[in-house]
Amino acid sequence: MNADQPRTLFTIQGEAIIGPTGRPKHDFADPEPLESHGPARIIAMVNQKGGVGKTTSAINLAAALSEYGRKVLMVDFDPQGALSAGFGANPHDLETTVYNVMMEKDVTIHDALVSTHVPGVDLLPANIDLSAAEVQLVTEVGREQVLQRALRPVRNDYDVIIIDCQPSLGLLTVNALTAAHGVLIPLVAEFFALRAVALLKDTIEKVQDRINPDLEIDGVLVTMVDLRTTHSKEVIQRIVEAFGEKVFETVIKRSVKFPDATVAAEPITSYAAKHDGAKAYRQLARELISRGCSP
């Protein structure tokens, strides 16, 4: 068996251990170090519903990937600037953001990039200025490809580019889906969160059909799970029924450590390195790499 392939864990009785998704658990091996960096796989973190742990997952996945030697660029594509704030930046103090890179011809992406305190992770920040782009892009030629063109000069500098989208299916999100190779969908383990999934899948299929035929769903990440409740278990079952093997084996359990880490402007992998949440995001990074969704 290839060292990068997941190994099924077995009990003493020889029966596979069943994980939270109802499938056999695997031990995802640590990935091999990379000999060089780039070109990056671009992953859009998308869910038009807010409060599903999207930005938290983007930050912690990036930090976990960096621990495995991957160079990561984080793109804040939400006018609220939550991702930027999550890395300690004050969105109100930012002079050059992704908005300027997209909408001003004399501004390049190198003018806006910010190094974060997480080794190997850079940030293309955003603030409320980005909300104006939704309106301005309507009259642009090739309006769906503006972000794709903006990212092109740095794609060879990174292994993974993660775009943290706003909770909307508007023109900004379509730009992210057009630029991306894959989509990662965070879904909270509550029934009402499932209602909007059909609309999201429809948007992804339209982008695939009309603009970006290479776009694919890299995976569905179940977040804010409380495995003590029947409700969470039933929701996970429904998500697996809807998405099948696209559902990550890794699930993110609900924990007060996540908001604590957010307040500290740190990923949980450094704020509480041995916490189950940190271990879960490292497993997610290994699982993503084992699926071929990251170098």
Convert the pLDDT of each residue in 138-193 to its tens digit: 888 889 999 999 999 999 999 999 999 999 889 999 999 999 999 999 998 888 77
State residue 9's pLDDT score.
42
Terminal CA-CA length for the chain = 19
Which of 14-28, 89-103, 234-248, 265-279 shows the lowest mean pLDDT across its residues? 14-28
Convert the pLDDT of each residue in 187-200 to its tens digit: 988 887 777 787 88
State residue 13's pLDDT score.
41
Judge if pTM exceeds 0.85: yes
- % of the chain exceeding 70 in pLDDT: 95
Q: Which residue has tokens 């450094």?
A: 270
Q: Which residue has tokens 């953001």?
A: 97
- Answer whether 109's CB lies under 8 Å from 150's CB: yes
Residue 5 DSSP label: S
- Answer whether 58's CB lies under 8 Å from 263's CB: no
Convert the pLDDT of each residue in 51-78 to its tens digit: 788 999 999 999 999 999 999 999 999 9
Helices (H), the chain: 54-67, 82-86, 98-103, 109-112, 130-136, 146-151, 171-179, 197-210, 230-243, 257-263, 268-271, 276-290
d(Cα 225, Cα 232) in Å, to the nearest integer? Answer: 6
HSE-CB for 61 with a 13 A CA cutoff: 33
State residue 53's pLDDT score.
83
Q: Which domains does the chain have, with CATH numbers?
A: 33-290 (3.40.50.300)
